[in-house]
Amino acid sequence: MIRHTVVFRLKHPKGSAAEKKFLSDANLLASIPGVQAFEQLRQVSPKNDYHFGFSMEFADQKAYSGYNDHPDHVAFVRDRWIPEVEKFLEIDYVPLA
Amino acid sequence: MIRHTVVFRLKHPKGSAAEKKFLSDANLLASIPGVQAFEQLRQVSPKNDYHFGFSMEFADQKAYSGYNDHPDHVAFVRDRWIPEVEKFLEIDYVPLA
């Protein structure tokens, strides 16, 4: 199992229609083959300045690569992520043991 | 539900006995009241320079505060985290909706 997460903040004002639309449209990522346990999250720690997070799991590296290369993911990154996201950090986890 | 996560790197060399001991001893955090779904994780993305992560969930802010103030957590931070951790970032999530 690989858990792919990204914590981010948007360029849009908090609570704006543009923010809501970005988050709503991002649900398309959940339907890309290989994506499991897709979650949209609100980041609430005052110890960093990110506002949101996405988390998803893949069975293995092949499934993760298939997602990365999928045209729907490539288009989302190009058309929405890059223009609308101010700052982000990708963190990927596998079980320790 | 509040998911408390911390991504970090240790001062210890990778694969060292000191690294193993830190990770093993950190399991005591799982037995602090209120801690649910405790996970020790390996961070594998090349897009950041952290090596490990812990994740745990709390039912609510009261449970989270109880963990933060618990003597076993306070002692772990003082005696192990601060001396042995080189760099870390705390990220806390709640469901978006």
Q: What is the pLDDT of residues A37-63, one digit of tens each?
A: 999 999 999 999 999 999 999 999 999
B41 to chain A, closest Cα gap in Å: 4
Q: What is the pLDDT of residues A12-36, one digit of tens each?
A: 999 999 999 999 999 999 999 999 9
Q: Token pair 């989270």 is at which residue? A: B64
A65: Cα separation from own chain's centroid: 15
Residue B56 three-state SS: strand
Alpha carbon distance B73, B66 (integer Å): 10
Q: What is the pLDDT of residues B54-66, one digit of tens each?
A: 999 999 999 999 9
B61 → chain A, closest CA residue: A44
Query: Using an 8 Å Cβ cutoff, are A55 and A3 in contact?
Result: yes
Q: What is the ipTM of this complex?
A: 0.95
pTM of the entire predicted model = 0.96
Show which residues on chain A lie within 8 Å of chain B, measured between beta carbons.
Answer: 2-4, 7, 23, 39-45, 47-48, 50, 52-53, 55, 89-97
pLDDT bucket at B97, cuts 50 / 70 / 90: confident
Contact A53 B93 (CB under 8 A): yes
Alpha carbon distance B23, B18 (integer Å): 9
> What six digits make up the tokens of B96?
């978006």
Query: Using an 8 Å Cβ cutoff, are B67 and B33 in contact?
Result: yes
Interface with chain A: mutation pick from B39, B45, B67, highest number of A CBs within 10 Å = B45
Q: What is the pLDDT of residues B13-30, one digit of tens each?
A: 999 999 999 999 999 999
Alpha carbon distance B58, B4 (integer Å): 8
Question: In chain B, which residue ranges form alpha helices assigned H by DSSP?
Answer: 17-25, 61-69, 71-76, 82-84
Interface with chain B: mutation pick from A24, A92, A94, highest number of B CBs within 10 Å = A92
Look over chain A and give the mean of its residue pLDDT values, rounded to a whole number. Answer: 98
Other Cβ atoms within 10 Å of A1 Cβ, number: 12
Look over chain B and give the mean of its residue pLDDT values, rounded to a whole number. Answer: 98
Give A81's DSSP letter: I
